[in-house]
């Protein structure tokens, strides 16, 4: 089928836009995609399954229209820890006052409230903190027993019914998946979501539980939002397919000034392992209500791009904001400006990513070096599982990476990778076919014209996963597109 024309993005970093009331209209989704959204996040914390199913169908229709694979990330809510209820719906706790969290279901007052989570009483110790309402209230534990946790209010204020509680200093023995999450995960798999965002990750086992339920489908993105996850970061990256730096929750459980260096540490650790990393939360927050961001927000997005993150995410800006399209345009514009900086390539390569002792890694590294030495228009990677595309992207080459795969599922997952332009296309059977298809796809997708050069990376024998053993540099001839237009 003929597709609507969409030029290459002209940037390496990907934009992940959250869907919601502001994007319920298929026309707005289309505008966000044309403005630069490469992937969409469906937030399972809000909205009915029927609404999400409609959104996913609208995104798949865009994919058909433009002939470009789009990643869909279904983001699970995870367990929510909350206080109970108050006699008057709320109470005021002065700074420095004593306040008790207990297991009595009696309505609370200015001295106590129910905490309906027995798991917390099992692990909290004297000297630890309990944070309420996104950290606006801070309590220090004075004494703890199986039935009550007596605290001093270091930062008091108004506490109201069912406000959220964070326990940053202890690992809470509850699984990352609630019953709601299990239902949402089954729905997301049924709908063909490409990525699952797992909230409340504290330990590697949380990922194993989710993966079992995914049944070999989709890719798993661990959201790093708790200090306990940071302490076990290498194991969690190892167990996941990608990582999200969930800075909103990290900023509640840690001091705000601890988050920026931690963001860099998480981005670097994930990049080293050749997996995509998303920087999320409050990137252009003021654009929920304003058509222009603050300078601090622009710097924040720019820093994530300089750090070499694979993707930057918009949350409420596109889900419920007044300026969803403008937010995507602004993010794309910041990314292009940063990537046009002559020092950008050197900056993203400050992190050394030494190749593993494998042929595939050595060739991925060679592709990056060829791109620096010879003027290439793209690196074309034939990838069966997406692994070769990840290897090449890990090197942060100076030119785009066109990932050709026979699997639409793989193409969609690759859509979150830095610098990757995925194309779902029939597999190849010979060296000649590889060269011809590499050239034809580069021309068709806007990567070079007559006389431009490509590096083509593949595996011989063809059609086998994990057999990458070949890099070939080819020159495109102008008549090749017309000659092969009928093939795909």
Residues marked active site are found at 41, 82, 223, 281
In this structure, the strands spanning 112-114 and 195-198 are unpaired
In angstroms, rounded to a whole number, what is the distance separating the alpha carbons of residues 392 and 379? Answer: 9
Cβ contacts of 190 within 8 Å, gap of 6 or more: none
From the list 5, 31, 2, the residue with the least C-alpha distance to 446 is 5
**Do residues 21 and 52 lie in contact, with contact meaning Cβ atoms separated by under 8 Å?**
no
Reference 406, options 382, 379, 433, 434; nearest CA is: 382
In this structure, what token pair is assigned to residue 45?
């914390």
Cis peptide before 128 (omega within 30 of 0): no
Parallel, antiparallel or unpaired: strands 378-382 and 401-405: parallel
Return the structure tokens found at 420.
């990757």
Angstrom distance (rounded) from CA 251 to CA 226? 9
Round to whole Å and give the CA distance between 260 and 251: 10
Q: Report, in this order, helix, strand and coil percent for the chain, each rounded to 5.
A: 40, 25, 40
Q: Distance between CA 390 and CA 135 in Å, rounded?
A: 37
CA distance 47 to 468: 43
Which string of DSSP letters, residue by residue, matches 231-294?
HTHHHHHHHSSEEEEEHHHHHHHS-GGGHHHHHHHHHHHHHHTT--EEEESSSSGGGGT-SS--
* Distance, CA of 221 to CA of 43 (rounded, Å): 14
Q: Which of 71, 109, 314 is nearest to 195 (CA)?
A: 71
Q: Which of 379, 385, 423 is nearest to 401 (CA)?
A: 379
Rg over CA atoms, the chain: 24
The answer to whether the beta carbons of residues 73 and 196 sit under 8 Å apart is yes
Please state, in angstroms and rounded to a whole number, the distance separating the CA atoms of residues 410 and 391: 14
Both tokens assigned to 422 = 């995925």
What are the distances in angstroms from CA 461 to CA 21, 127, 464?
Answer: 49, 62, 7
CB 438 within 8 A of CB 417: no
- CA neighbours closer than 13 Å in the CB half-sphere of residue 446: 9
Start-to-end CA distance of the chain, whole Å, equals: 11
């Amino acid at each position: 089928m003929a597709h609507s024309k969409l030029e290459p993005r002209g940037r390496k970093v990907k934009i992940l836009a959250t869907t919601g009331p502001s994007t319920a209209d298929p026309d707005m989704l289309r505008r966000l995609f044309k403005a630069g959204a490469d992937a969409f996040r469906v937030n399972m914390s809000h909205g009915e399954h029927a609404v999400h199913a409609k959104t996913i169908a609208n995104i798949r229709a865009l994919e058909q229209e433009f002939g470009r694979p789009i990643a869909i990330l279904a983001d699970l809510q995870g367990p929510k820890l909350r206080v109970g209820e108050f006699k008057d719906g709320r109470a005021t706790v002065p700074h420095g006052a004593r306040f008790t969290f207990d297991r009595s279901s009696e309505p609370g007052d200015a001295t106590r409230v129910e905490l309906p989570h027995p798991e917390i009483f099992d692990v909290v110790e004297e000297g630890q903190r309990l944070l309420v309402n996104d950290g606006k209230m801070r309590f220090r534990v004075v004494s703890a027993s199986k039935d009550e946790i007596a605290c001093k209010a270091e930062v008091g204020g108004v506490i109201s019914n069912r406000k959220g509680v964070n326990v940053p200093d202890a690992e809470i023995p509850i699984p990352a998946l609630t019953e709601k999450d299990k239902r949402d995960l089954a729905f997301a798999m049924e709908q063909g979501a490409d990525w699952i965002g797992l909230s409340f990750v504290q330990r590697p086992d949380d990922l194993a539980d989710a993966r079992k339920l995914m049944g070999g489908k989709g890719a798993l993105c661990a959201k790093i939002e708790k200090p306990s996850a940071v302490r076990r970061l290498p194991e969690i990256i190892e167990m996941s397919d990608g990582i999200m730096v969930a800075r909103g929750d990290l900023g509640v459980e840690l001091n705000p000034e601890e988050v920026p260096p931690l963001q860099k540490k998480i981005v670097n650790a994930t990049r080293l392992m050749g997996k995509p990393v998303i920087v999320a939360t409050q990137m252009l927050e003021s654009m929920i209500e304003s058509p222009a961001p603050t300078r601090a927000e622009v710097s924040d997005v720019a820093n994530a791009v300089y750090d070499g993150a694979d993707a930057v995410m918009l949350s409420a800006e596109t889900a419920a904001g007044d300026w969803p399209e403008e937010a995507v345009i602004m993010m794309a514009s910041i990314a292009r400006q940063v990537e046009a900086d002559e020092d950008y390539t050197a900056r993203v390569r400050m992190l050394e990513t030494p190749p593993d002792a494998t042929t595939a890694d050595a060739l991925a590294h060679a592709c990056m070096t060829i791109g620096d030495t010879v003027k290439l228009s793209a690196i074309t990677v034939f990838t069966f599982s997406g692994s070769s595309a990840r290897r090449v992207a890990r090197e942060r080459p100076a030119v785009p990476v066109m990932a050709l795969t026979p699997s639409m599922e793989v193409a969609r997952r690759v859509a979150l990778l830095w610098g990757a332009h995925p194309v779902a296309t029939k597999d190849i059977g010979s060296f000649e076919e590889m060269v011809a298809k590499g050239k034809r796809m580069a021309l068709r997708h806007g990567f070079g014209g007559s006389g431009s050069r490509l590096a083509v990376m593949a595996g011989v024998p063809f059609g086998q996963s994990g057999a990458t053993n070949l890099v070939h540099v080819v020159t495109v001839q102008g008549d090749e597109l017309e000659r092969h237009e009928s093939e795909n």
